[in-house]
Structure 1
Amino acid sequence: MKLNVESFTSDMDLSADKKIRSFYSYKLVLIAFDINKTILYAHKKTKLLNLNLEKNLENVKSNEHIEGYDIYYRNGRPELLDFLFVENAQLFDIGVWSSLDKDYTGHFAKSYFGRYYRNLQFVIACKRETYEGVLRQTSVEPLQIHRDFKQLQEKFQDQYTNNNIIMISNYPNLTDSYTPNDIILSKYDPIQIGNIFGNDLEITTLIKYLRGLKVFVTVKNVEDVRPVIQAKSFKQTYNRILNNQRNYNEIN
């Protein structure tokens, strides 16, 4: 089957990593990330300024400037990368399945993952014309798209099944049979989240959430992560962390 995507990368030698993983009895969990407004925010200034947007960004320093866009990493990036690629490299495989086109997906993914970019299992981009038609200017607004995990299973010779894939994005998968695999983060958008833009807690919550999921996989030997995701709501975890922070701020 030909992949209905723009790009597929990362065929580096993983033999040493696999030897380490062979000591573990549990299956690897694959985590795929969307890019813009999920783990970073890409902003391009235009002549028609949005005053509310500019106000929310005025005290937040961008992390990088790429292809005319100021890139803001979602709060918690160093901790997330360390959790995924250092602390839990034996458990999680990481990839990118972006709703952006090939160029922006590549640029933004390299920026965010930095030296860990080469450790990604794959980087998949979207054929946006399938959803938007032909536009004069390519948008970096995230889309709700079809993500057919069979493509991954064929690429990686059934190393991953529906049971052990997690997709992290802003929208549920348009392929309904895979929505139980979704973890939905709110949009990292200064208009939407306002003055907490620089101190957003979604990545902090995600790390805590995945740490809890790790217990189910490594200690309780759960082979299907989907029922855990459905029963253990990410939103509930987020609200609990948010309330704890509010209570802490009130006390102090």
Structure 2
Amino acid sequence: MRLPDAVRLAVGTLTAVRVPAPRAVTRSTASGAMLLAPFAALVLLVPTAAVVATGRALGLGALVLSVLAVGTLAVGTRALHLDGLADTVDGLAASYDRDRALEVMRTGDVGPAGASALLLVLALQIACAASVLDARGGPTLAAVALVGSRLALTWACVRGLPAARPGGLGALVAGTVPPVRAAAATVVVGCAAALATGLTGAGWWAGPVVVAVGPLAAVPVLLRCRRRLGGITGDVLGAVVEIALAGGLLVATALI
């Protein structure tokens, strides 16, 4: 694996930041990109923190700040993960027939199930962020929830979990991450989170808890997609990210 190619693939795919294209996109490169997914999320923290800081300087309330923060994240990812969430829910709700469900996901149209999922998940993210941003060390916990949510991508691509169809992003990254490396990435992110939350007054233990529990919130959806669809797709990856972020922010709210 060429590390520069993995970095470019992770940042170029998971954020709206324009970077040079990887020289070669192989499954090895894809594996590295999925391992680097939490670190690519650090790129999103800069504009989000700037928006929140500007809003605070203008005297905006926590609810408005949380809406702006979640909106900035959507812009920073080109709403890619939100689109995946809507498509995944629409596919799962459309039919028990695997091929029909995948076809609905492929069309990209947002139905009532997908729209409801978007509304509920975004409402949970905004409500929890509003509570967290006003607490001591809360902004750091929110940042930890964001970075930790990308571990859902890492674990969704571990070996043994196949792609639902032969083409697309899911087929490229499915089964590329060795479980040992996924665990190592989780430990690294957890240790960094412990240091960050310890230094900002949220409690050193709060960071690792958010990192661990957030991605676990996406496990039921991932297992459902494995049974119904036969594996993962790019849309499923987007769905687990948004659900993991909501789960991480919910845990952060309970800890403050």
Q: Which has more strand, going by share of residues?
A: 1
Larger radius of gyration: 1
TM range (shorter): 0.3 to 0.5
Which structure shows the higher helix fraction?
2
| Bigger RCO (CA 8 Å, 6+ sep) | 1
